[in-house]
Structure 1
């Protein structure tokens, strides 16, 4: 099985990346194929609302001049998608919002391409607003008929400077538990995915 983690922070080796790596670790131990992809700081424009993806139904965004379609292909190939973001003004980063809007809508209008996949949100935060960012990402998963695993707390970690989050022992334990839960859920649901309700 394959887990894809997408880092929506422009800090490639910052707190968001540290949280995502902690989630992936138990999955690697369980034999999953994993990939961590950097989207923060990369070129990805917001949705233009042109509805061409609904018209063409080719599992792609019509605008092919940024990273969206390449990342979307990876999302479609994954069994679990973990979206990580720093908390900016109580919400996700601009790059993550563009990904959610465009990839989510392409999947939605192509007969629910994300349905049955596992989706988890992870948020790195300096002080406040993480719950709202966490909820915002989960809206994509829930309206896409994805499976959203719980953990020992909301999936957030605290730290302002690079790698500060590693000192948040509760967050580190929560991320480890989240990875284990994703592995368990993947094994439990894999034999049934062909019959997932449309």
Structure 2
């Protein structure tokens, strides 16, 4: 069992990393393997909707680590996407990365039927709004959403402060345990076949 996580912070060992590591450690106690995919501090190209990825299963642009991540995603059993909060919103780099990854793989998704969790770290506020945004990727990709025992968030301006957020860390550990449990249950009962092929636009040319 493999859990693949994404650290949407440019700080590779900061607050978001601390939260993800707590999830991973709890999952590992139950026999799961885990990996944190670091987005790092380099500029992240946004999805430009060029549709050149259609049918290819990968982004036409080789930068940003998107295609490397998609290869790993195909072998993963569950996902955690972590983000810092700056202005009551997920990090721009995480959203650009996820837009490209999910758009490029929409024809043959490595995510469908696999559970996902969103995690946010903040000094104070904006976490729930950020979680709402990231959770939408799960909702459009047939991904069961993994919950904890409170909102999936930690608080602190540094890893040291996050480690003082005892309830937040408790929530992270419960996410890890719930992730392993859900993966095990889904292996017993695979998701049903999904209908595909219908694609409509809200605006149609005159006469159609």
TM-score of the aligned structures, taking structure 2 as reference length: 0.88
State the partner residue of 2:193: 197
Tell me how far 1:99 sits from its aligned partner: 1.4
Higher-Rg structure is 2
Residue 144, structure 1, aligned to residue 141, structure 2: yes
Unaligned runs of 5+ in 1: none
Counterparts in 2 of 1:59-98, with a 5 A limit? Answer: 59-98=57-96
| Paired residues of 2:2 and 2:77 also in contact (CA < 8 A) | yes
Tell me how far 1:101 sits from its aligned partner: 0.7
Residue 5, structure 1, aligned to residue 5, structure 2: yes
Q: Secondary structure at the match of 1:66?
A: helix
Q: Which runs of 4+ in 1 moved over 6 A?
A: none
State the partner residue of 1:183: 180
State the partner residue of 1:28: 28
| Paired residues of 1:43 and 1:67 also in contact (CA < 8 A) | no
How many matched pairs?
A: 194
| Paired residues of 1:23 and 1:178 also in contact (CA < 8 A) | yes
| Paired residues of 1:118 and 1:148 also in contact (CA < 8 A) | yes
Deviation by residue 1:124-179 (Cα, 9 ceiling, x = unmatched):
00111111111111000111110102211110011012431110011010001110
Q: Secondary structure at the match of 1:40?
A: coil
TM-score of the aligned structures, taking structure 1 as reference length: 0.93
Tell me how far 1:10 sits from its aligned partner: 1.1
Paired with 1:172 and 1:18, the residues of 2 have a C-alpha distance of 9
Residue 50, structure 1, aligned to residue 68, structure 2: no
